[in-house]
Amino acid sequence: MDRLRVHMVAGAVVGVVALVALLAALMTGAVQRAAAEAAPVVPRPAVWVGLMVGAGVLLLGALGAWWYMTRLTRPLARLTGAVQLMAQGVFDRPVRWERGDDLGLLACRLEELRLRVKTSLEERQRWEHALEQQVEERTQEVRLLLGKVISAQEEERRRVSRELHDGAAQYLATLLVVMDGLQERLVRAGWTDDPLVVQAAEQARSALQEIRRLILDLRPAALDDLGLVPALRWYAESRCSRVGLPFTFTVIGRERRLDPALETALFRIAQEAITNVLKHAAARQVGIVLAFDAERLRISVEDDGRGFDPAALAGGAEGAGLDGMRERAALVGGSLEIHSGPGAGTRVTATVPLLPAAHAPSAAIEAQGDG
């Protein structure tokens, strides 16, 4: 700061010198005018010389004052700009200073502060990036694990469905044929219909229908043989017609087979949505829409029932089915939207991308399993 004071004093001295020169020039002009009045014959060149000398001294003083002020204000402006950049979060521009005065010492301290803050920010960014990467890796691992669990569930569903179809369903169907034949023999023998035999036949027929419903819920054969659209149409017709609920089934775009994992996920989402309508909505009509385009598939189940508040069910036991639908949609890279309100009906919409075979969910799960 002592040097700064010296510069300021020097600038003030130069300014005083300039002022004195100006006064001297004015006084010289005044003396010359007085002399001119006293002695009419005075050489004009002497007057011009005095004026030029005064103007030159004044110009030199002004230049000296400007030079000293520039040496003081320009470094201060540079330091002010560096501080403003740091305040805006820009720490990539170094603070340069070549002088060894007090301002230079201040610039050195400011440069050290800039480097420390920059290093701290870079370290924090590295930690944040590493943390985000770890979270992404763990999320991917959870999704792959969830995919394996769901795949194992579907395989177990398929196995149980096949056993029910080939075992209990066949036995009950055979039992019904035998009991129908028994009733015919009793009639031909002159026996009236035995209520016990009739009741047994009705119970066997009801049990066979229930087993077929279980087979349909576990794993409809049409899903593997015909694809998503026929299987979902059959499921909606069988469930809605049983309770007398009118429904519409609409397909938009070019219908086509999809990746098996994608078809299974979408079928389960629509199955859960239809089941919720039948159990809770008290609807008068339900509409199912499948919209195909080049890059994605949108499936929507909408009813005009009593509706509900989705936020009130989030995270609770009653919302477990909705959470499962969201997980299945996320597993195949899609999303699930639920629009509902008390008395306003419900619309469940799942949108999933139609990926190439190499990037399909089942291919990813199989590749992870092989690894």
The third-level CATH classification (topology) of the domain covering 229-262+272-371 is Heat Shock Protein 90 (3.30.565)
Residue 8 pLDDT more than 60? no
User: What angle, rounded to 10 degrees, do the helices at 320-331 and 260-276 form?
Assistant: 160
Locate 285 and state its tokens: 């009509």
Per-residue confidence band for 351, with pLDDT thresholds at 50, 70 and 90:
very high
pLDDT digits (tens, 9 = 90+) for 323-335: 888 888 888 889 9
Locate 356 and state its tokens: 């190439």
- List strands edge to edge, sheet with 247-252: 247-252, 286-292, 296-303, 346-353, 335-340
Name the DSSP class of 257.
-
pLDDT, greater one: 190 or 12? 190
Average pLDDT rounded to a whole number, residues 9-19: 50
φ, ψ for residue 247, nearest 5 deg: -145, 155
pLDDT above 70 coverage of the chain, percent:
74
Q: State the pLDDT at residue 32.
A: 47
pLDDT, greater one: 133 or 9? 133
Whether 94 and 114 have beta carbons less than 8 Å apart is answered as yes
pLDDT, greater one: 232 or 91? 232
Whether 18 and 64 have beta carbons less than 8 Å apart is answered as yes
Whether 304 and 277 have beta carbons less than 8 Å apart is answered as no
For residue 168, the SS3 value is: helix
Lowest-pLDDT choice from 242-246, 266-270, 308-312, 333-337:
308-312
Q: State the pLDDT at residue 252.
A: 94
User: What angle, rounded to 10 degrees, do the helices at 44-87 and 102-166 form?
Assistant: 30
Q: Taking CA 352 as the corner, what is the angle to CA 351 and CA 354, rounded to the nearest 5 degrees?
A: 135
pLDDT, greater one: 173 or 186? 173
pLDDT, greater one: 197 or 307? 307
Average pLDDT rounded to a whole number, residues 208-212: 84
**Helix spans in the chain (H):** 2-38, 44-87, 102-166, 168-188, 195-218, 221-225, 228-243, 260-276, 310-313, 320-331, 361-370
Average pLDDT rounded to a whole number, residues 59-77: 70
Whether 296 and 258 have beta carbons less than 8 Å apart is answered as no
Per-residue confidence band for 357, with pLDDT thresholds at 50, 70 and 90:
very low
Average pLDDT, the chain: 77
Average pLDDT rounded to a whole number, residues 230-239: 90
Distance (Å, whole) CA 37 – CA 362: 115
pLDDT digits (tens, 9 = 90+) for 285-310: 999 999 998 889 999 999 998 988 88
Q: State the pLDDT at residue 50.
A: 65
pLDDT digits (tens, 9 = 90+) for 86-144: 777 777 777 776 666 677 777 787 778 888 888 888 888 899 988 988 888 887 787 77
pTM over 0.75: no
Residue 365 pLDDT more than 50? no
Residue 192 pLDDT more than 70? no
Residue 345 pLDDT more than 70? yes
Q: Give the containing element (helix H, strand E) for 251.
A: strand 247-252
Per-residue confidence band for 363, with pLDDT thresholds at 50, 70 and 90:
very low
Lowest-pLDDT choice from 89-103, 245-259, 355-369:
355-369
Q: State the pLDDT at residue 193.
A: 65
Per domain, the residue ranges of the chain are 2-90, 229-262+272-371
